[in-house]
A and B are shown apart, each in its own frame.
Chain A
Amino acid sequence: MEERKTVASEADRTAEDWAFCPSQYDAAAIETWLEDRAREGWQLKRFTNWGGKFEKAAPRPTRYRLTPMTRKEKAPDPERLELCAAQGWQYAATRYELFHVWRTDDALAPEMDTDPVTQAEGYRWVRRRLIGGLAAASLLCAVLLAFLAYAYFRPGGYLLNMAESDAPLEGLLRLIVGPLVLIVLGLQLWGMDRTLRHLRTGIPLERPAPYRTRQRVTAVLTVVGVLAYFYLILFSYLVDDFRDIRGDEAALARATYVDMTVLNPAAEGAELWKAETKRLELIPRMDRVGQLTVDAAGSVTGSVETAYYRLLTVGLAEELERELVGRYAERANFPGNETRISMESVPAGDLDAFYLKDWPEEHRQSAVARLGRSVLYVIYNGPGDLREHTDYLAALLS
């Protein structure tokens, strides 16, 4: 029986736990959290990036105190360790470049800080670090916003570039991650300055300090922030491509595209050489499909390529329509051909907008059609005239 108890306590002693730290800079909140954990039977072993590692111990009331660093140091100097030990305080851990953490089980040990005004003085270095963090976050925010500005202003059109090169959530995350970090750090600075104002007027830190809600919010923001960071930096480029659906009959059936046989009933055995799809927040549906026909000798006799976009709002669809018309004109500037060719607006009662460019000698046409939130860009090589099929295009877009 006695032996079993020894084995159990040995297992308990080696058990470890990890928990999110409720705050980076709020000493009273961290102290209260550590004291609650001690009462639950977990004593702080060390701090990690976003939390603390704990080891199993007998549940007991332990006082924890954080003293702000006054300079960059990995651990308190030996004299301080001895002085604190003489007063009943043991060094527990260091919160990276911010605080030294002390603990005592002795209810009679004197408070670590006996003068709030002096305690406030000790926060100068920590406050400088927080402001440094805020400056770094501002820089990060500026870089992310610069990416967005570049994406918006670069040639080719913002929506079209986004449609072609962005991964799902990429633009949204770039827009919110930087300001979110700034807001979090700004709130921390505000909280610290509020605490320092209290200390400087002689009011000691309020303990126990509430921390549970903040701990949950911190945990959620940290997880979201880390995932967003790794997604943007490491993974977004892996998922920014269109998904090939040529072998997926169900997806192909849902895809919207101009069918070669509708434009040219004589075209038989049209071959699907491209079929792909993609979804983004602003453009919930995009399909790109290409068909061609070949003769017995293997020469291409006709082709049709469709890019279909369904956007979140009519306004976005109108913007994409403008970008497509503009980009098409630029694409007409083939090397050696400096003529800027614009698409012409053609009246089409079935559609909200219809633009066409015609190369009659080459039996080639391209068109942009929009109906409500849906936009279609089609390049057609073959006999016939897209102007005669606006009802068909409207049916596709409706």
Chain B
Amino acid sequence: MFYVLLSLLSQERCGTEIMEYTDDTTAGRVTLGPGTLYTILAKFQEERLIEETAVEGRKRTYRITERGRALYRSELGRLRLCVADGERAGQRALAGEELPGLGSGEEEP
């Protein structure tokens, strides 16, 4: 969901372009299946997060709405906090694990 909004931040795109953008941006780490993409596009249109701007033959182009931008910002903030939480907790856990390890390591020949 995040990458669909992200792909439309800078320009209007069609479904294929959204998939390609996601694939390129994440270097193939995030794959957006066509079934998933279409469910998201339908849901986002229904929630007025994106809107259709043009239909050329088989191609439909979408753009993000103000509501969609607001959700993107909110989601970005949430993800930043998630990462910060993860880093803090991870550092504490790592520090706790390393202390005994270091101590025992020094005594070994």
Contacts and interface: CB of A to CB of B under 8 A. Distances in A.
A122 B37 CA distance: 11
A107 B19 CA distance: 19
A80 B34 contact: yes
Interface of A: 65, 67, 70-71, 77-84, 86-87, 89, 102, 110-115, 118-119, 121-122
Nearest to A88: B34
Contact of B35 (A71, A79, A86, A113): A113
Interface in B15-46: 15-16, 19, 31-40, 42-43
Contacts of B37: 83
A13 to B, nearest CB: 29
Contacts of B14: 79
Contacts of A111: 31, 33
Contact of B58 (A67, A71, A82, A102): A82
A122 B16 contact: no
Given A65-B35, A83-B34, A115-B33, 10 more contacts: A67-B38, A87-B34, A102-B35, A110-B34, A111-B33, A113-B35, A113-B39, A114-B31, A114-B35, A118-B39
Contacts of A70: 38-39, 42
B59 interface: yes
Nearest to B43: A121
A118 B16 contact: no
Contacts of B57: 78
Contacts of B80: none
B39 A79 contact: no
B73 interface: no
Given A81-B58, A110-B31, A118-B1, A86 B16 contact: yes
B48 interface: no
Contacts of A80: 15, 34, 38
B60 interface: yes
A84 B34 contact: yes
A75 to B, nearest CB: 13
A82 B35 CA distance: 12
Nearest to A112: B35
Contacts of B19: 83, 87
B15 A119 contact: no
Contacts of B38: 67, 70, 80, 83
A79 B60 contact: yes
A89 B14 CA distance: 18
A110 B58 CA distance: 22
A87 B15 contact: no
B44 to A, nearest CB: 11
B34 A79 contact: no
A110 B101 CA distance: 43
A245 to B, nearest CB: 65
B102 to A, nearest CB: 37
12 contacts: A65-B35, A67-B38, A78-B58, A79-B15, A80-B38, A82-B59, A83-B19, A86-B16, A114-B33, A121-B39, A121-B43, A122-B39
B35 A67 contact: yes
Contact of B33 (A71, A79, A87): A87
B58 A113 contact: no
Contacts of A81: 58
Contacts of B15: 79-80, 83
A71 B40 CA distance: 14
Given A82-B16, A114-B31, A119 B36 contact: yes
A89 B39 contact: no
A113 B36 contact: yes
A82 B56 CA distance: 13
